[in-house]
Amino acid sequence: MNAGFGLSFVLMMLLGQGPNELLDLLPSKDYWQHQGVEMTAENVLADLTAADANTPAQGGQADVRRLMAIRTLGELRCKEALPALRKLADSKELFVADYAGRAIAAIEGRDAPRPGVSAAERLQDVELLPAGCGLVAQYALAPGAGPIDLAKVLAAMGPMAGPGPQEGGLDQLVKPLTEFAGMVGNLRVDAVTIGVAGEIDSDKGFVVVVARGLYDAKRAAAALKETLDGRDAERTQTIGGLEVFYPDREFGLIFASNQRLVLVSGPKRELMPVEQVVAAVKAGKGTLREDKELAKLIDAADKTGRLWMAVRMGETYRKAHPMLEPFVSAALVTKETKDAVEFSLLAQGDDADKVAAAVAQFNGELAKSVKGIKQAADKMPPLQPMAEFIESIQASQSGKAVTITAKFAGKGSAVAMLMPLMFFCERAAPATDTVRAEAVEQDAPPPPKAAPERR
């Protein structure tokens, strides 16, 4: 299992129907085995007691180890741990009270609802986006169901996962995840909001991503500083009292608060709307609504589903692909039923004949995709849900309007939920790989130093 797959695996799980917390990617049994501790109630309770007595712990892993101990005691139904856990139920430390509450409920045989994010909070993130957006999308993650079984996940993914648990594949996930958690602590992702510039190519435009959840912003910033240590001074910039980090010339990170992380990206750093985003974070509102047309599309979109998208089709988008040329706007909404996620994409055009031609081309390419994914699914069964999803896509025309519907059976991953958005972005954004490769070659920063062990 290579490093690229490992990163993709983490992103898939964080953005899927599975865990939305980093530590839920670490099964307790595998974690304690990695720590050299036999996972018994007696051992784990002693570990927690030692941590709460301020007994020195191992480097930057102390708070992670404490959370894992709390969680494990709940999983082991350790009644002897109840007094210690109840003392932690009102803790103000990040994640501690939540973990203690879940553990107590597990021991007592009760369900403990996980925290989520309200629709009002999600809309606050939309308002942080800058003027000039052509596409706005948002995805709200479902609260995680608890720790996953990595061995079962790897087995279910089959050949796609590379080496299995017996070949060391499991350790190649547990070890880096544990080390990463030790650097930044636990983190939770509740919602992701995306704004893409209306005019975007290799020389202009931007993407702004607002991630909402919970994490230690100061700790994450410190960890990033360590990786940038020794590199040029322009890697950080203070704007309006907020520190902006530039790991490379094409994106900046703003650790806005313990609830928000903001990423600003673009082909040229000087054209990225970093100052506008910082001002929006500080004021709680940006300049998005200066575009009255896009604001109207956003307001009209049904935002009750977990995924929605509104697009004002500017010239850049329309010229990116023949299928997009006839359309002036589009909106994607989703609805969850008991056993499926339903999608509906409504696109509005300005010429009925051109719209009909675009639909015909779409259906032709869709037929090829269905055939290809079916063949792939025959060889790799885990792809079967995706094959069924693509096969369910249907496009219908009514004058200048087109409606595309699809259904994903079950409560599948966001990879499927984001397919329409991924498809649109692929068609709308011109390829810039060559330009970026040249930029990296001309101004390639030295490789980051390995982060020293945190103590």
Could you tell me if 236 and 199 are in contact, meaning their C-beta atoms sit under 8 angstroms apart?
Answer: no
Domain membership flag for residue 348? yes
Domain membership flag for residue 310? yes
Helix H or strand E segment including 387:
helix 384-391
Domain membership flag for residue 305? yes
Domain membership flag for residue 153? no
User: What confidence tens digit (pLDDT) does each residue in 61-75 have?
Assistant: 899 999 999 999 999
Name the domain boundary from 107, 136, 161.
107
Domain membership flag for residue 84? yes
The answer, yes or no, to whether residue 455 has pLDDT greater than 50, is no
The strand order across the sheet containing 401-409 reads 236-239, 242-248, 251-254, 260-265, 207-214, 188-197, 133-140, 307-312, 327-336, 340-349, 401-409, 394-398
Q: Helix crossing, 96-107 with 62-75: angle to 10°?
A: 20
User: What confidence tens digit (pLDDT) does each residue in 387-410 have?
Assistant: 898 999 999 999 999 999 999 886
- For the full predicted model, state whether its pTM sits above 0.85: no
Of the listed ranges 83-97, 239-253, 330-344, 439-453, the one predicted with least confidence: 439-453
Contacts of 37 (CB under 8 A, 6+ apart): 43, 44, 47
Query: Of 205, 253, 204, 202, which Cα lies nearest the Cα of 227?
Result: 253
Domain membership flag for residue 341? yes
Distances (CA, A) of 252 to 106, 117, 218, 248, 415: 41, 25, 16, 8, 25
CATH assignment of the domain containing 367: 3.30.1460
Helix H or strand E segment including 213:
strand 207-214
User: What confidence tens digit (pLDDT) does each residue in 358-387 have?
Assistant: 999 999 999 999 999 999 888 888 788 888
Rounded CA gap, 317 and 328, in Å? 9
Q: How many domains does the chain have?
A: 2
Name the domain boundary from 107, 136, 170.
107
User: What confidence tens digit (pLDDT) does each residue in 325-357 have?
Assistant: 999 999 999 998 888 889 999 999 999 999 999
* % residues pLDDT > 90 (the chain): 55
SS3 126: helix
| Domain encompassing residue 43 | 3-107
DSSP 272-303: S-HHHHHHHHHHT--SGGGSHHHHHHHHHS--
Domain membership flag for residue 139? no
Name the domain boundary from 72, 107, 142.
107
The answer, yes or no, to whether residue 226 has pLDDT greater than 90, is no
Domain membership flag for residue 298? yes
Q: How many residues does the chain have?
A: 455
